[in-house]
Structure 1
């Protein structure tokens, strides 16, 4: 009997070693899950004939032999402490495990071990769990305009009986959606012809499961040749010699355009510069004419509509008006008013003088001599008054005749008349006749 007691453990160890050579496990290497969803780990192991009625399942994290236990016989520990875990019938070799409400902290590497009549750690079969917070959109790369593009949105289907539902927020005007389901993932594909109108457009993929929602948004990157190329300028019109003019060229392109400027004079086309802006300093008449820009990138090029710069001859500067003090303006105004009053007074005076002259001319002339004296001497006098130059002037004529009573000699007698005009100036006029 003592000898049998010594041989028994040895025989049991040899039998267990033989069974270990036949141990196997079916376990996925990688699994993915959406944050907050469930994970069903498909798992079977053997040999089942070595399993006893007290067989249990154990999950360890990070290391198969020294790692922390997260699950043992219906009890959770460590990072699985807040997760509801359900395991299959380990006595029948079913190690499938369901985890509900997984989060980022449940991500990691796990190993399965069974204990009981048959104890074994499957240290060469690791399970890696990745927890995602949103669906995955691919490809996230630039696409060229005009090409047929496929945009895929996928999410893990870690709960086969309750997979998420995927949908795109925008169909991009005629794009088609195709849904496919793989063993562990579900995806929806958006098929469309890439256009420049899609560039920088955002599209969203939405995954939903019961009351849970997950979304992912991307911005499309479509490359295309330049379009809508145009020129805007500062002071293109009414340009004078010596002025400064700046022209700017813009276009819609991806990737951005490079710009070249051209000057057209008659039938000649000359390259004037490069860059988005063309500055022209101190322009001359030769700078006038048509200008256009060419926008170009690796997908093509486009010319803008030409603009005309009409350069005019410069004119000499006009001297600024002197500054006049307000008091000076008042004095000048007063002097002008006085001058106007003086002119008005002179005009009225001349009118009165003319009236007096006409009145005097209509009267017979009377001298200081009496009619008797005139008859004695036989004189004939005539007086006329006129107003030359606006002054009263009287002319007198004297006629000396020979009389019978005067026999001795003929005397020449001159009778001078002294007249006064309206200015009281003495004027003497005499006329002598024989």
Structure 2
């Protein structure tokens, strides 16, 4: 039989290939979340030929070796030794080594914990490693939002008739399933599996698995906590500008982009919106800008990581002086609109007056329009009163039918009456015509006031 020094055995004895001096029982694989802890169910036994060498009364030390069971040339592979105060991995052996229970828990697991792990015992005069059995620990660095996740929690069940009850505390809705199972070492445990879909709001929140053991008429509890590490694309992305008020050309402004993301945002990009056109203007979380006349408008930013990007709100950069130009333009437009309305009003008024004059010049005997009254009409034989010099004339337009004003008169008086009638018609026409045209000075003054 060919023998080799590879492996570990009672002092002074070489191990032969195919011969195990320590037999361990542990899971083949454990999936763990980064930032949490991992419990390795473990038990061991000593082969018959070494029963006399292993003294259970002497508490052995438990040793965990990473990657390869042969650590003679690579002592750094030893990551935990229960007899040492300080270890590379923070943990403890929770099982009773005197009863060959090597169950171990490691805390604050990180992604570099992913590897194979072998177990070794050291006890005078017996020391040995099981080179054929290892547990493969796989650490997932992140739980992605929106992706269903399953977590396992187990607790030993020393009394299968009264197994512990496992419950979960999670920050979201979940489904769980519990089952009693027999371990390879023929012990029993309760395994609880919980399934849920994480959100970015659950990042860095705690998950708790609690085991309640019935002990007589009371209960005893044990629990394990872990923190969720949820990866997500940028959320709550926002842009801000300082100063927020209008600035002068040549001033310096600072635009800042902020976002929540896991992993953190690796790239910030700034965009400028002006006259309906969007332009990429800068990269970086902060954008320092020496303001020019063309920098006015809206700005927004985008944050991006390996899972996607998030867009911010839009912020306005206002430049002093541009508001005045806009105000003057708006005032000019308003003045043009007002002048147009005045011109339309004058034109419509002239049109109505022109229609009234045409009705006044209609032939005698034509009926007057309903509702029109001539203000200077007098009773037969009465002289019309002269208006006061300081009182403005109120003129309403209508038809005057002198043929209905019949009095006894001489031929000479009739001739005078006809001449007077023609003179009054002429006076009415002239007065009405002048009333149509407002003085040009007033219109010019209104135009100047608007401008």
Higher RCO (Cα < 8 Å, 6 or more apart): 2
- What TM-score does the superposition give when structure 1 sets the normalisation length? 0.43
Larger Rg, first or second structure (1 or 2): 1
The answer to which structure has the higher strand fraction is 1
